[in-house]
Amino acid sequence: MLAPGTLLQERYRIAAQIGKGGMGAVYVARDMRLSHDVAIKETLFHDDAYRRAFEHEAKLLARLRHQALPKVSDHFIEGNGQFLVMEFIHGEDLGSQLVRLGKRFASPQALSMVLKWGDQLLDVLNYLHTRPMPIIHRDMKPRNLKLTSTFDIILLDFGLARGGVTVSVDSTGATMPESEERKIYGFTPPYAPIEQMRDGEPDPRSDLYSLGATLYHMLTDSLPADAMSRMARLINGHPDPLRPIRDLSPHVPEPVANLIQRSLNVTMEGRPASAREMREELARARSLTPIAAPSSLVISLPSVNSRLLGTTPLITPSVTVPSVIAPSEQLPIGTLIRMLTTGSPIRSVAFSPNGEHLAAGYDDHTVGMWRMSDYSHIRNLKGHTSSVRSVFFAPEGGLMATGSDDETVRIWNVSDGESLRQLRIPGCPIESIAFSPDGKLLTVGGWGSSITIYSVEGDQVRVLDTLPCPFVHSLSFSADGGMIAAGCYDGAVYLWNTADHRPAGQLGGFTSFIYSVAFSPNREFIAASSQMSVRVWRLSDQKLIETFQGHHGPVRSIAFSPDSQVIASASEDRGARLWRLSDGELIAPAFDHRAGVASLAYSPNGRLLATGTHDGRICLWQL
């Protein structure tokens, strides 16, 4: 055990041990460099095989970025210990809450919220299972889930594989009393499928079983019978001891109950084929039966937006919906004009320079294209093999670039959707791309060690330079193209002069990751967001002039209005806000959504704001 006050790597000061198990311990510590709390997971294995497995796990987890996963920021070996540093998630785990509040979770009022968590968990499982090197969680259960302040779910803990036997350290390191939980090889009956209990090789459908068991527990306030006992009884010709969900909780819609129980099939072949398939089935099942709103567990929406949003299912297989309201200069700011519903979480949205098209990067590896004249879906662009994190139109020439977790940038012809070029940056999952205002440069950044600058001349693209830089989340060119800004994971905004690629300063003041950075069109200001605030600096002397606070979740995306008078911000708190730069005041009530907002963009004429959300919606708002 590490004593409080222990300093690791001359950077992380241990505050307290928050859990311990047979194979590891977890501590909360203070990152002295960035001045924020982190969780540090220590493995207690010391042989070479587990050391290699630990290093493999650390590198794998460091590349993961999903709103339902804690971020891994560092790993190291010190003395006899192996340590993984990750985002510290405050709050009580869902297992502890179930012990105290199980009947409340199993009530009709909580049904909508529990199914929302099911959708979020299927989203993150689809993300993990479809990585270039697929990841199977192997130990999903309530103890490995936490809720954020906005009632969204966070999935903790990953296993280490050795010789076909799965072992894992609980996210808190804690072990339950034998009467409450029994651990076998690092997983926990009754949440484990039969293939894991028999030391077999799990596949993505194993995680679907664990998810189904977790949802069963929440919806019924009862543990499902464990898979080994069920298999033994079935082999001997006895009925399955798993009680039907609706026998215990009649309020659960039958299509939902049937899907969850299918995920609990003792054979892998009897379960849904993939997390994506199960997520789509869950959305259809939810849409078939009205579900009571959870009066005590959700944040209510303002009346006008609740009316507009309240009749749309979480995800539908369709790609267009009827018009909500026709655009009009007479409508108040913040009126929902149109909702475009897709089948995948949205990571990035962008308007074409002439405002004729809207593009969105999806978590399902594709890019959606929409025609703004009639809001019709034109096509889906396919070619990436992982989440599309960034979408950016070239200022002219009819080109668009997209950046993905698959470590590639693709350049497309907007008119026909043809993929013209693929740029590969090995070892750098792409987070952000940006064209210069004249279209002659393309910058690319992500989870690598540098920013790559490409020159673009027609269909000729070549590497021009690389700029050493920490992990990059957001890139932007100034309106005159004279400066490049990068918002990075060390809490700083780095600036370079475009002409000679020399550093032009740093902007700080944040204690955590920079999520978004933007220059004002009038070339006077630069803004960045981190955690729940937005900062604005005057570009001429790099002096901080304004800080906007009011969001209750991380501010994922910001943008200046075309006239440079307003900053729009989008947050995981399910809201988008408009801030007047002259006095720092909010212009209108928050634009409320049903899920966290990952990206936003102004239309070129400044009349519309597009927001893209984690539940697969693009909302167009009157400005």
Burial degree of 269 (CB within 10 A; 0-12, 13-18, 19+): exposed
For residues 420 and 42, give the distance between their C-alpha atoms in angstroms, rounded to a whole number: 46
Map 582-621 to HEC letters: CCCCECCCCEECCCCEEEEEECCCCCEEEEEECCCEEEEE
Is residue 596 in some structural domain? yes
82 and 203 co-located in one domain: no
Supply 533's token pair: 């605030």
516 and 403 co-located in one domain: yes
Work out how many domains the chain is built from and give that number.
3
Phi, psi of 357 (to 5 degrees): -130, 155
Map 485-518 to HEC letters: EEEECCCCEEEEECCCCCEEEEECCCCCCCCEEE
428 and 507 co-located in one domain: yes
For tokens 């192996």, name the residue: 82
Q: Amino acid letter at 615?
A: D
Phi, psi of 120 (to 5 degrees): -65, -40
Contact indicator for 446, 454 with CB cutoff of 8 Å? no
Give the number of other Cβ atoms within 10 Å of residue 132's Cβ. Answer: 11
Domain boundary among 64, 87, 110: 87
Q: How far is CA 473 from the centre of its chain?
A: 13
Supply 283's token pair: 């959305």
Integer Rg of the chain from CA: 24
For residues 115 and 96, give the distance between their C-alpha atoms in angstroms, rounded to a whole number: 19
Is residue 312 in some structural domain? no
Is residue 329 in some structural domain? no
State the pTM of this model: 0.54
64 and 197 co-located in one domain: no
Give the number of other Cβ atoms within 10 Å of residue 48's Cβ. Answer: 8
Contact indicator for 590, 552 with CB cutoff of 8 Å? no
For residues 601 and 558, give the distance between their C-alpha atoms in angstroms, rounded to a whole number: 8
Is residue 294 in some structural domain? no
For 612, which DSSP code?
A: E
Phi-psi region of 298 (alpha: psi -120 to 50; beta: other; left: phi over 0): beta
Domain boundary among 222, 255, 288: 288
78 and 100 co-located in one domain: no
485 and 424 co-located in one domain: yes
For residues 208 and 404, give the distance between their C-alpha atoms in angstroms, rounded to a whole number: 26
151 and 70 co-located in one domain: no
Contact indicator for 569, 529 with CB cutoff of 8 Å? yes
Please report which helix (H) or strand (E) contains residue 526, including its range: strand 525-530
CATH number, domain with residue 268: 1.10.510.10
121 and 216 co-located in one domain: yes
110 and 252 co-located in one domain: yes
Secondary structure (DSSP) of 349-373: EEE-TTSSEEEEEETTS-EEEEETT
For tokens 């936490």, name the residue: 146
165 and 190 co-located in one domain: yes
Q: Amino acid letter at 491?
A: G
Q: Which range marks the domain in which residue 618 is found? A: 339-622
Is residue 319 in some structural domain? no
Contact indicator for 562, 602 with CB cutoff of 8 Å? yes
3-state secondary structure of 65: coil
Is residue 563 in some structural domain? yes
User: What integer pLDDT is reported at residue 397 of this predicted model?
Assistant: 82
Which residues, 6 or more positions from 517, have their beta carbon under 8 angstroms from its beta carbon?
Answer: 474, 475, 476, 485, 486, 487, 493, 526, 527, 528, 529, 558
345 and 259 co-located in one domain: no
For 2, which DSSP code?
A: P
Is residue 314 in some structural domain? no
User: What integer pLDDT is reported at residue 187 of this predicted model?
Assistant: 56
CATH number, domain with residue 451: 2.130.10.10
83 and 128 co-located in one domain: no
Q: How far is CA 42 from the centre of its chain?
A: 25
Phi, psi of 215 (to 5 degrees): -65, -40
pLDDT under 50: residue ranges of the chain = 159-185, 291-329
Q: Amino acid letter at 523?
A: R
Domain boundary among 288, 319, 350: 288
Give the number of other Cβ atoms within 10 Å of residue 383's Cβ. Answer: 17
For residues 379 and 366, give the distance between their C-alpha atoms in angstroms, rounded to a whole number: 10
Q: Residue 489: which of 559, 579, 554 has the closest Cα?
A: 554
CATH number, domain with residue 49: 3.30.200.20
Secondary structure (DSSP) of 106-151: TSGGGHHHHHHHHHHHHHHHHHHHTSSS-------SGGGEEE-TTS
The CA-based diameter of the chain, rounded to the nearest angstrom, is 80
Q: Calculate the dihedral angle through the C-alpha atoms of 123, 125, 130, 134, rounding to the nearest 10 degrees.
A: 160
CA count, 13 A, side-chain hemisphere, 244: 12
For residues 526 and 529, give the distance between their C-alpha atoms in angstroms, rounded to a whole number: 11
Is residue 333 in some structural domain? no
